[in-house]
Structure 1
Amino acid sequence: MLLFSCFFILSGKKTAVYKTDSILKNIAFDYTNNFYKFQKEVNLLDALTNKKASLKDIKSQVKKTRLAYKKIEFIFDYYQTFYNTTYINGAPLPKISEYFEATEVIKPNGLQALDEAIFEENSLENKQHIKKLANKLKERVDFLLKSHLPIQLKSSQIIESIRSGMVRIFTLGITGYDTPGSVNGLEESLVSLQSMKTAFLHYKEGVNPNAIIKFHHIKRLFEKGENLLKLENNFNEFDRMLFLKEVVNPLYGNLLEFQNLNNILLEPYKKHAQNYKAKNIFDANFLDADFYSELVYLPLDNKNTIELGKLLFNDPQLSNSGKMSCLTCHDPNKAFTDGLPRSVSNKKGVFGARNSPTLLNAGYSTRYFLDMRAFTLETQVAHVLDNPLEFNTTFKAIIEKLNKNANYRKLFKDSYEGITKKNINQRSISNAIAAYVNSLKSFKSPFDRYVRNETTKYPENAKRGFNLFMGKGTCATCHFAPIFNGTTPPFYLESESEVLGITQGFDSINPKLDTDLGRYNNGLIGDKQPYFKNSFKTVSIRNADLTAPYMHNGLFSTLEDVLEFYNLGGGEGMGVKVENQTLSNVHLNLSKQEIDDIIAFIKTLSDTSDFTTNKN
């Protein structure tokens, strides 16, 4: 099945051959056997639901099926990401996939939907739903056996799939994202970790002598991770900070070093945002912001265009009135917000429809604006320019103004000459502003420095808060590390929005749902779906301590209020009728101390040192 392959390792005058064919055959053999075991468990689950077995027996079989899947997930999701997230183990929400079924709404399905459904009300309707989910899962797994197997593996891709698997465990496993009903994330993470360890240990037979010490070090790291997951079976008590610092990050970095020591090429199978050259999940370069701007006029990492974009960002002459600039709503001294419930407009006493979100780390997304109506940072610019309450102008008018300025003519020439006949045009203006916004990155916070081992100082209450954020508080099931926004790991290919049931005022006695329909009303045909009513983009909580007030309507003035809203289960948990609320309506039962600890953690994510006038 696999071709013989080798990597030549030069060491002085000697040449050694590192053969990988038998290693890959062994990994493929394990994977195939585990896939058939997964199919067997799926078939048993399907049979039980068809026989109308007891809920207890079905629940037990759902658990076995999910655990069998966890043995194959790190390889399967690497090679079949879109199929996996659409049909096998994606979020239990309605979705539209551009890869499958065109614009048809795909109802919640797969393993996460089963995990959620099995713990819902024991009604006839729910039993029928579980049966249908099991039937569909069987159909799709049977199809995969014909289309997915046999599998062709490359050594580089095995290492990379293991590293991505560690990201998945940290962001989706131990946070409870994968197990919305059972909250069995720790046991499933253990099975995933053990499966990845088994795959890695196959490299022992062909390891380069220079990498033997590294091999055994990685083996011990896997064992440490196993021990930590085995020792704690209480989801709320698991020490996620310890696991991150002593297992996840060390494994992520050491696997890269092992790959380099064995001259295994860095040749990813797929294009995605994760940068495999990073050594730490919280490295500033862990995600490649340029991935999200692949089709731009000119790459956004150009120093000249960034500087030009900064000038345009600060220049009020771009607006029709000559009084408003991007700076008006995005002040660096306020973490690129304006500190108002709703953004200011060009008319005195009139405010915009929504809050101004921070632009820091805004580039790590596939959709822009709170209603997600723009697909790139470049197209985002146009929405601001032609908005009657904002710049209220046209590109034609701006181009005329800029052409009258000798400095701008020179700067545009230096950056864009040779692309089109006219250097100052709609695309070049948008590109320059987008380049500046894309450069606004914030990864020097006390938290970042601590988890990168650049400092040993970190507050104990913030450690507790991090563990709560990633565990009991369920915050990390929407705000994914490392950006802590809604761009989904481990490959960060799609940005999510959520229905939280935001109210018109924080009235827990007589709450009323806010009338802003959000994503449902963003003008995009694909988003005109009932489940997107009142849905808004999940923004980053980095620098959240500096960006009050919060939510799209500026409802909450403090982080304490935000946490209390979540603690109550959002709008639905407060008694509001909310269609398709994606936030669980179950009360979190966080104590005042726990809320304070989470806020302490959030405060350690603040970093505006590169942008404020008073630098830290």
Structure 2
Amino acid sequence: MKQISLVLLSVLVCFGMLSGQKNTVSYQANTVITEVQAWYAHNFYTFQNEVNGLAHLAQSATSVTDVSKLKIQIKKTRLAYKQIEFIFDYYQTPYNGTYINGAPLPKISEYFEADQVIQPCGLQALDEAAYGDHSLEHLNHIKDLSHRLKLRVDFIANTHLPIQVKSSQLIECIRSGLVRVFTLGITGYDTPGSVNGIEESLQSMKSMEQAFLFFENGLYPEAKSKFKSIKLRFKSGQNMLPTSVNFDDFDRLNFLMEVVNPLYAELLAFQNLNHITLEPYKKHAQNYQAKNIFDIDFLKTDFFSELVYLPLDNPKTIALGALLFNDTTLSGTNIMSCVSCHNPDKAFTDGLPKSKSNTTGVFTARNAPTILNSGYATRYFLDMRAFNLEKQVIHVVNNTLEFNTDFETIIKKINSNPDYIALFNSAYGGISKTAVNERSISNALAAYVNSLKSQNSIFDTYVRYETDTYPEAAKRGFNLFMGKAACGSCHFAPMFNGTIPPFYLDSESEVLGITQGLDTINPILDTDLGRMVNGLPGEKHPFYKHSFKTVTLRNINLTAPYMHNGSFETLEDVLEFYNLGGGAGMGLDVDNQTLPETPLNLTKQEIKDLIAFMETLTDIKDYVD
């Protein structure tokens, strides 16, 4: 009996010790968050003070010679911002992107100003302005930008602080911060004037490391080894980002392979080992469980299609959509199908400058882009007139040069086919009065298009560590793509399209000054007005004139000819156009060109290397016989 009592006592003591350990770790975890919140508030107020200093310095400036002093203060202000960015942007994404660190372009915001035009403002605009022409007019512009930034930062400080952070949200902030550094920092996207992306990325890495180190006081034993590994990885990343490194010479591929992807995976592993419950704060397109920026499931296509008739991942609707995609009876003349312009053998394009219409000898207005990976976007068509894949269908159905019909006619044709009726009833029966209707037809086609993925290229398998083999020329090309050539500052990883990281909430269009063919001696600007005339009243603005959606570059070596008008026959032509600075760089008067008109000064070998990289983005093996 005495032995049994001793055993029970031992068990109770051990249980108490374990319980005490859990309570201690839980207490320490709460302390960690308190420390993080205080640390973040201190850094935010430091940033606010730098903004105030900038505004004061700008208002007291009297001549263009004062711009050099303003440059120094703008740099200090931006570096202070980089200490808070990974947390601030997570909790205040729309406000940050609109007023604090948005791209230096006019914009229409769905969140602010009641759809009015918001002129360029914030830190990116200041970075660009400080390195522009030194004139009194330019100085006044810097004064105005500085004053407006101060007003916005003062306002948000009163509503944003103190923040309430949870442990998993902090890890999510850091992981998204890594994506931001890789896609927006080291590419130069965030520093359009100073090209100071390397130093700013270093500051971001230091700040994210400091935030992570607060977890040291709340570690479970099983998480200690991973904690040490992450510390070492952060130090390694900082060692790769010395301020002395030249922007063009930085090895971005090595940084991805040795720092960004490993940290992205290890932070998730640490969260699990340290028993931190996932409590996401916001909705965004990243799949939290992904372990690599180039994982097939890193982005969730269902994020971009929330308002559809049925979720687009239903095998029944995908199979039905595939039949409809190939069916010529959907068109008014029974001769066109979706495949007419989107051929799987050509990476779902048609190989023509502008697509054939339903009339012999007549062509549509624009080139047919690939629809592979098209589900990873918030806007559709080259002029961005449709807001999801379902809504895209009606434009094709009604277009007089394409299907030139209506849904009532299509529904009658489908209802005359018993096989189709059975398939529609199986997929959509019971949702509405009739299974065959405009929404179900559109949904089936959208489901099929959404299923068309291309993420197993040679490049993907290499950066996912599935192979050790990758061409040296392609390695050089990737570094050029993400650096000197500035391709990655518009074609964002991992899809290399215009959907903006790190949260992938919006898709961009660009004004490039596209010409009619590549005539570098007597260039002629293409007349297509693009997004400005897409029919959406909120987008009929001059800054959208000649603006077109930034499409994916995956499978680009199979999708010639290029640009919205199909005017460039080869990738060499495309890169020569960019190398010259677009239409404006070629001497044309292009209003609001978003592509810098300064020549890139790419050598012939660098152009070959860029093409070598882009050729490794090819992957259509699942869609060809």
1:278 and 2:290 matched: yes
The C-alpha deviation readout for 1:80-133, integer Å capped at 9, x for no partner, is 000000000010000010100011100000000000000000011100000000
SS in 2 for 1:230: coil
What amino acid does structure 2 have at the position aligned with 1:363? G
Residues 205-238 of structure 1 show CA distances to partners (whole Å, capped at 9, x for unaligned) of: 1111111100000111000000000275200000
Contact 2:199 2:243 in 1 (8 A): no
1:445-492 C-alpha deviation (Å, 9 max, x unpaired): 000000000000000000000000000000011000000000000000
Query: Does 2:514 correspond to 1:505?
Result: no
Which residue in the other structure is 1:591 paired with?
603
**How far is the alpha carbon of 1:14 from its aligned partner?**
4.4
After TM superposition, the structure 1 = structure 2 runs for residues 378-457 of structure 1, keeping only pairs within 5 Å, are: 378-457=390-469
Aligned to 1:44: 53
Q: 1:411 to 1:21 in 2, by over 3 A?
A: same
> 2:112 aligns to what?
100
> Does the 8 A contact of 1:232 with 1:238 survive in 2?
no
**Matches of 1:159 and 1:76 in 2, distance apart?**
14
Aligned partner of 1:35 in structure 2 is 44
* Root mean square deviation, CA, Å: 1.3
Is the partner of 1:182 in helix, strand or coil?
coil
Q: How does 1:54-73 map to 2 (within 5 A)?
A: 54-73=66-85
Q: Does 1:304 align with 2:316?
A: yes
TM-aligned CA deviation for residue 511 of structure 1: 1.0
Aligned to 2:31: 22
The one-letter amino acid of 1:39's match is Q
Q: Aligned AA for 1:275?
A: N
> Which residue identity lines up with residue 521 of structure 2 in the other structure?
I
How is 1:100-499 mapped onto 2 (pairs within 5 angstroms)? 100-230=112-242, 233-499=245-511
State the AA in 2 paired with 1:394: D
**2:537 paired with 1:525:** yes
Structure whose residues are more often helix by fraction: 2
- Calculate percent identity across the aligned residue pairs: 65
Structure 1 residues 30, 517: CA separation in 2 closer, same or farther (over 3 Å shift)? same
Partners of 1:365 and 1:494 within 8 A in 2: yes
Shift of 1:58: 0.5
One-letter amino acid matched to 1:94? P
The secondary structure found in structure 2 opposite 1:610 is: helix
Partner of 2:4: none
1:321 Cα deviation (Å)?
Answer: 1.0
Evaluate the alpha carbon distance shift between residue 84 and residue 231 of structure 1 in structure 2; reply closer, same or farther with a 3 A threshold.
closer
Structure 1 distance, partners of 2:96, 2:74, is 17
Change (3 A) 1:139 1:302: same
Distance 2:166 2:465 in 1: 32
3-state SS of the aligned residue for 1:251?
Answer: helix
Go from structure 1 to structure 2 and tell me whether the alpha carbon gap of 1:296 and 1:12 turns closer, same or farther (over 3 Å shift): farther
Instruction: Name the stretch that deviates more: 504-513 or 337-346.
Output: 504-513
Matching residue's letter, 1:184: N
Give the corresponding residue for 1:4: none
Quote the residue 2:5 is aligned against: none
Is 2:336–2:403's contact at 8 Å kept on the other side of the alignment? yes
* Cα distance in 1 for residues equivalent to 2:346 and 2:188: 33
Distance 2:80 2:235 in 1: 20
Q: State the Cα distance separating 1:11 from its structure 2 match.
A: 11
Q: Is the 8 A contact 1:572 1:585 kept in 2?
A: yes
Structure 1 CA distance for aligned equivalents of residues 129 and 39 of structure 2: 31
Separation in 1 of the partners of 2:53 and 2:102?
A: 21
2:304–2:378 contact (8 Å) kept in structure 1: yes
CA distance, structure 1, for counterparts of residue 523 and residue 569 of structure 2: 17
- Partners of 2:155 and 2:412 in 1: CA distance: 59
Output the CA distance in 2 between the equivalents of 1:549 and 1:149.
Answer: 52
| Cα drift, residue 13 of structure 1 | 11
CA distance in 2, matches of 1:266, 1:242: 30
Question: The residue matched to 2:110 in structure 1 has which SS?
Answer: coil
Q: CA deviation at 1:435?
A: 0.1
AA aligned opposite 1:208: Y
User: Deviation per CA, 1:288-324, whole angstroms, max 9, x where unpaired?
Assistant: 0110100000000000000000000001111111111
> Which residue of 2 is the match for residue 543 of structure 1?
555
SS at the partner of 1:598? helix
Helix, strand or coil at the partner of 2:548: strand
Q: 1:12 deviation in Å?
A: 13
Contact 2:198 2:243 in 1 (8 A): no
Distance in 1 (CA, whole Å) between partners of 2:145 and 2:616 is 42
Q: Distance in 2 between matches of 1:117 and 1:14?
A: 59
SS where residue 551 of structure 1 aligns?
Answer: coil
Of the structure 1 ranges 413-422 and 502-511, higher mean CA displacement relative to structure 2 is found in 502-511
Gaps of at least 5 residues in structure 2 are: 1-13
What runs of 5+ residues in structure 1 fail to find an aligned partner? 1-9
Measure how far apart 1:574 and its partner are. 0.1
CA distance in 1, matches of 2:243, 2:109: 40
Q: How many residues align?
A: 604
How has the CA–CA distance of structure 1 residues 11 and 123 changed in structure 2, closer, same or farther, with 3 Å as cutoff?
Answer: farther
Give the structure 2 partner of residue 88 of structure 1: 100
Q: Could you say what secondary structure the match of 1:397 adopts?
A: helix
Distance 1:180 1:225 in 2: 23
Runs (4+) off by over 3 Å: 10-15
Mapped to 1, the partners of 2:385 and 2:15 lie a distance apart of 55
Amino acid at match of 1:30: W
Tell me by how many angstroms 1:505 deviates: 2.2
Provide the secondary structure at the position in 1 that maps to 2:43: helix
TM-score (norm 2): 0.96
The change in CA–CA distance for 1:39 and 1:110 in structure 2 (over 3 A counts) is same
Question: Residues 64, 499 of structure 1: CA spacing in aligned structure 2 closer, same or farther, 3 A cutoff?
Answer: same
Which range moves more in the overlay, 137-146 or 242-251?
Answer: 137-146
Q: Would you say the 8 A contact 2:516–2:526 is kept in 1?
A: yes
Q: Output the CA distance in 1 between the equivalents of 2:566 and 2:395.
A: 21
Which one-letter code corresponds to 1:38 in the other structure?
Answer: F
In 1, the alpha carbon distance for the partners of 2:273 and 2:623 equals 39
